[in-house]
Amino acid sequence: MLGCGVGCGTAESTEPAAVAGGRVITRTATVPTSQPPTSKAPKSVVPEKTTKTVVEYRVIPFKTKTVTDGELPKGERAVRTVGVNGSRKLTYEVTYVGGKSTAKKLIRQEVAKQPRSQVTVVGTKVEEDVESGCDPNYSGCVPVASDVDCSGRSGNGPEYVDGPVTVTGSDIYRLDSDHDGIGCED
């Protein structure tokens, strides 16, 4: 090709080949023809379809339960057992087409952690009514007053009680001087 003159080169070429520094440089140009170019429609691209296994956890709320307790004063409430939420493990098969989720199918579900019920106790113990005139801190009937003393002893009252009486709560009138649980003993 080096000695080639005008019109040399490839069959498609409309310009002659040129020699530059020992290398042949060929320029090609598109020549319009009378026929319309064949259009090649792009192939329809089918999006990629994939499936993945996805695990989700859902909360199982704890239940509440109320029970009565004869040792607690009537109407008093207390939490005996604190409630704890559980959890459920859900396993899905998720189908993606073109990177977007198109279907979600539940494969398996199981309880991962059991919830624990909250137990609240409500007291039912009826204490002696102070309106009855008897102090509930003592057995028998020790009157309710600003001060109560044992009968037959030194004390300024205004109320007195015949003993012995058993201290069942707080010894608010200091009737049990030796702190053995029995007040106004002879």
DSSP states along 85-149: -EEEEEEEEEEEETTEEEEEEEEEEEEEE--B-EEEEEEEEPPPPGGGTB-TTBSS-PBPSS-EE
Q: What share of the chain is helix, strand, coil (3-state, %, to 5)?
A: 0, 45, 55
Residue 36 located in a structural domain: no
Residue 184 located in a structural domain: yes
First and final C-alpha spacing in the chain: 144
Domain boundary among 125, 155, 178: 125
pLDDT band, residue 14 (cuts 50/70/90): very low
Are 170 and 142 in a shared domain?
A: yes
Is the peptide bond prior to 37 cis by the omega test (within 30 degrees of 0)? Answer: no
Is the peptide bond prior to 164 cis by the omega test (within 30 degrees of 0)? Answer: yes
The rounded distance, in Å, linking the Cα atoms of 124 and 71 is 7
Are 119 and 131 in a shared domain?
A: no
Residue 35 located in a structural domain: no
Are 165 and 101 in a shared domain?
A: no
Are 164 and 186 in a shared domain?
A: yes
Contact indicator for 62, 115 with CB cutoff of 8 Å: yes
Residue 7 located in a structural domain: yes
The domain containing residue 16 runs over which residues? 1-30
Are 114 and 132 in a shared domain?
A: no
pLDDT digits (tens, 9 = 90+) for 29-54: 444 445 555 556 566 778 899 999 99
pLDDT digits (tens, 9 = 90+) for 81-121: 999 999 999 999 999 998 899 999 999 999 999 999 999 99
Are 98 and 136 in a shared domain?
A: no
Residue 142 located in a structural domain: yes
Q: What is the pTM of this model?
A: 0.42
C-beta atoms surrounding 48 within 10 Å? 9
